Amino acid sequence: MTAQPEILITPNRIVGNYWHDIWRYRELFLFMAWRDILLRYKRMTIGVAWAVLRPLLTMLVFTLVFSRVARLPSDGVPYPLLVFAGMLPWQFFATAFADAGNSLSNKETIITKVYFPRLIVPVSAIVVSLADLICALVVMAILFAWYERLPDWNLLALPGCMALVFLIALGAGLWISALTAQYKDFRYLTPFITQIGLYLSPVGFSSSVVPETWRNLFALNPMVGVIEGFRWSLLGLAPDGIEHHVAIALIMGLLLLSTGLLYFRRVERNLAEML
Amino acid sequence: MSRVIHVEGLSKKFALHHLAAGENYSTFRDALTTGLSKASKNLLHRQKDQDKETNEEFWALQDIGFAIQNGEKVGIIGRNGAGKSTLLKILSRIIEPTRGEIRIRGRVASLLEVGTGFHPELTGRENIYFNGAILGMTKSEIQSRFDDIVEFAEVEKFLDTPVKHYSSGMYVRLGFAVAAHLEPEILILDEVLAVGDARFQKKCLGKLQDIGRDGRTILLVSHNMSSILQFTNRILLLNRGKIAFDGDSSTGVSEYLKLNDESNSTRNLATNVPWIGIKEISFNQAAMDKGFNKAIPFILELELQNDVHDLTVTFGITNSIDARLITAKTQIPCISPETSKIMLELPNHRLLPGTYFVNINLSTPKERIFFTEKAISFELIADNIDDPLLLAHATKGKDRHGAYCPLEWHS
């Protein structure tokens, strides 16, 4: 075995050592993500069907409510496609957010018995939620075939849009996981936050229905830029100010991630004692 | 020999009351309401009364310092709450120290529990991989030792069965098997020897001895003094968060037993008759040899005005679940006030190592003089056990045993 570097344990460990540790534990990260994916699809008897059914049913309800009842405009694309393109990032974000929030208490038995960089836990929970997004993308492709549409070159921007929503989910996920670890009752707030977020994001409707004066305020919600990005990439829809909205989303995402990291690191040090 | 662990000025403080740590509110609601009420109090009264709550703290470890050389086998002992687990958790980097520093050179594997992270829905194979990764093995290491692990755990047939269908014996066997194949330079163990049936115990102990022979450093926490003596050559005795003793194992165990001394003699010595008093009844720790089946010495000291004739002394030895194991009796023809200190010895008891209790009955042919259940307790410690079958029992750490005898057989 090769010579090991000396480990120094003091109160308030140095940060530099930390990133080195994360690299050393990269395999554990993969194992954890792999285990959670296995569990997610083993435990549910309908398995993948659930990842497909949930956005499909939501899409049907939203189409009914917003298109048939509220008669909102569809910007020239079939309303179900408009909704589903918005559902893709939203569903991923909501699942990742909820799973990250529960991730630390779910892994309590491991955290109180073994050392590893705790950051692995919420991050792997968020990565696992990507599996559902991939399933939903397959459904999107089927919907395209059903409506006999083909995406154009904008589709090449889709990975970029996915990276953006991943960034936001990561930042928000770190925040919520640290908050739930520190405050036990915070987990009751999580579903409420997601629900409010759904109303404040243009999932069931196009963001063009939001009045001009409110639109900049509206776009402070980073999911606005993300959803517009997905719709532009998949359906070629470009509402006014989309560039700004995407830029705001990126800035908000980076802000969430950097503050989330700082807060998580602070909470992480005493995590085993809090759980 | 080089230094692998160096600990200096290590202290750990726990806040007993959740509000004490100032910012560690356990619930968001409390955080909000406390924050609001403090703010309003400060506005209205400008009083600084928040310090009252922060006083409730508890130092689990205080200024601990020691160094461990490569290849040493160190036992960490102490009574419950002495700080053993806290020390292990800090060394394993699960919790942070409040003060002090620790330097560790080499790969550490800490096993505070068998089967950490096992998931009941996953198969044995999947759990081996995940558990190995959690304990710090790389994928290639797990792959190369996979067959050994499976063979050691004896679960070949059930590899692809979810572990929720495993018996508890299979479960712990698998957990220990993964850990036993870690091959770290420093191994930290917490009471994990007491797993599985006797045959598997023997295997685990053998594995542990192999690991020790390879020159690896072992830190072992146990309440079982026999296994401490068997596997360690040095002891850190913790008492109330401080190191009470640091040195060779057998002295360390004696020091530990001295800490427990108060329970070796009984407090309520009142007799039924005025003319016989009891000064002392105790287990004579100092005269006790370590080892299997050594005579157990007791002291009985009476206060007499006149001679007592035909005093019958009955010792009922029970284990921790009150099973009567031995009834030991003697009759002393005559005790005079001058010879009132009597040394008693229980030879050839064949009791397994562990903690036992003594019910004491003193009587003369005419009347009962004294009776108390669990009047004293004593601990038997076995060292250098040659019989491998006995060794497995001796290190099991349960106190529900009785006597041990070899079984003879003919064909």
Q: What is the pTM of this model?
A: 0.75
The answer to whether B54 faces chain A, any CB pair under 8 Å, is no
For residue B52, what pLDDT band results from cuts at 50, 70 and 90? very low
Q: What residue of B is the nearest CA neighbor of A271? A: B95
Q: Which residue has the tokens 């419950």?
A: B80
pLDDT tens per residue, range B272-326: 888 888 888 888 888 888 888 889 999 999 988 888 899 999 999 988 777 889 9
CA distance A259 to B399: 53
CA distance A116 to A28: 9
Q: Which residue has the higher pLDDT, A220 or A275?
A: A220
Please check the confidence at residue A113 and state whether its pLDDT lies above 50.
yes
Residue by residue, DSSP assigns B34-77 as HHHHHHHHHHHT----THHHHT-EEEEEEEEEEEEETT-EEEEE
Structure-block tokens of residue B180: 């036993």
Measured between beta carbons, the chain A residues lying within 8 angstroms of B113 are: 113
Start-to-end CA distance of chain A, whole Å, equals 35
Angle between helices A26-43 and B124-134 (to 10 degrees): 150
In this complex, the residue of A9, A185, A269 whose CB is nearest that of residue B101 is A9
ipTM of model: 0.78
Average pLDDT, chain B: 82
pLDDT reported for residue A1: 40
Interchain contact, A183 vs B26, CB within 8 Å: yes
Q: Which residues pair with B383 in a beta bridge?
A: none
Measured between beta carbons, the chain A residues lying within 8 angstroms of B117 are: 109-110, 114
Q: What is the DSSP letter of A2?
A: P
pLDDT tens per residue, range A7-34: 778 777 655 567 777 888 888 888 888 8
CB pairs under 8 A between A and B: 115
In this complex, the residue of B24, B31, B100 whose CB is nearest that of residue A274 is B24
pLDDT reported for residue B394: 72
Q: What residue of B is the nearest CA neighbor of A42? A: B121
Listed in sequence order, the residues at least 6 apart from B34 whose beta carbon sits closer than 8 Å to its beta carbon are B19, B25
Of the given ranges (A170-184, B18-32, B275-289, B365-379), which has the lowest mean pLDDT? B18-32
Q: Average the pLDDT over B189-197 and give the result.
A: 68
pLDDT tens per residue, range A220-262: 899 999 999 999 999 988 888 888 899 999 999 999 999 999 9
Please check the confidence at residue B57 and state whether its pLDDT lies above 80.
no
pLDDT reported for residue A224: 92
pLDDT tens per residue, range A144-154: 999 888 888 88
CA distance B6 to A132: 48
Interchain contact, B121 vs A269, CB within 8 Å: no
Of the given ranges (B44-58, B162-176, B288-302), which has the lowest mean pLDDT? B44-58
Measured in degrees and rounded to the nearest 5, phi and psi for residue A252 equal -60, -40
Measured between beta carbons, the chain A residues lying within 8 angstroms of B134 are: 28, 31, 110, 114, 116
Interchain contact, A8 vs B24, CB within 8 Å: no
The answer to whether A217 faces chain B, any CB pair under 8 Å, is no
The answer to whether B108 faces chain A, any CB pair under 8 Å, is yes
Start-to-end CA distance of chain B, whole Å, equals 52
Measured between beta carbons, the chain A residues lying within 8 angstroms of B93 are: 7, 9, 115
Of the given ranges (A122-131, A176-185, B110-119), which has the lowest mean pLDDT? B110-119
Interchain contact, A109 vs B126, CB within 8 Å: no
The answer to whether B51 faces chain A, any CB pair under 8 Å, is no
pLDDT reported for residue A227: 94
Residue of A30, A114, A188, A190 to mutate, interface with B, max B Cβ within 10 Å = A114
Listed in sequence order, the residues at least 6 apart from B83 whose beta carbon sits closer than 8 Å to its beta carbon are B12, B60, B61, B64, B238, B240, B241
- Could you tell me how many residues make up chain A? 275
CA distance A178 to A171: 11
The answer to whether B28 faces chain A, any CB pair under 8 Å, is yes
Which of A50-59, A173-182, B250-259, B280-289 tops mean pLDDT? A173-182
| B 168-207 near A (Cβ less than 8 A) | 183, 185
pLDDT reported for residue B332: 92
Please check the confidence at residue B234 and state whether its pLDDT lies above 70.
yes
CA distance A51 to A174: 23
For residue B402, what pLDDT band results from cuts at 50, 70 and 90? confident
Structure-block tokens of residue B6: 């160096």
pLDDT reported for residue A2: 44
Q: Average the pLDDT over B242-249 and give the result.
A: 90
Q: What residue of A is the nearest CA neighbor of B132? A: A28
Interchain contact, B94 vs A112, CB within 8 Å: yes
